[in-house]
Amino acid sequence: MDKSDTYIIMCERATEIQEYWKQNPRTDDDWVRSYKQPYNQVWLPRQDQLQAMFKGKYDIENMLVVFNDWRRGTWVADDFKFKEPEITPQNRSTITMEQLWLKFVMYELFNKQWNPEKKEWTNVRTSD
What span, in angstroms and rounded, lies between the C-alpha atoms of 100 and 118?
A: 18
Question: Dihedral of the CA atoms 127, 64, 91, 42 (nearest 10)?
Answer: 70
Q: What is the pLDDT along the chain (128 residues), one digit of tens a residue?
A: 888 889 999 999 999 999 988 887 776 666 776 566 666 788 889 898 899 888 888 888 888 888 887 777 765 555 545 556 566 555 555 678 899 999 999 988 999 989 888 999 999 865 54
In a domain, 102, yes or no: yes
In a domain, 83, yes or no: yes
Neighbours of 87 (CB within 10 A): 12
In a domain, 126, yes or no: no
Task: Write out the residue range of the structural domain in which residue 97 sits.
Answer: 5-116
Residue 72: the pLDDT is 73
Residue 79: the pLDDT is 52
pTM surpassing 0.75?
Answer: yes
Alpha helices in the chain (DSSP H): 5-13, 15-23, 47-52, 60-72, 97-110
Number of domains, the chain = 1
CB 17 within 8 Å of CB 45? yes
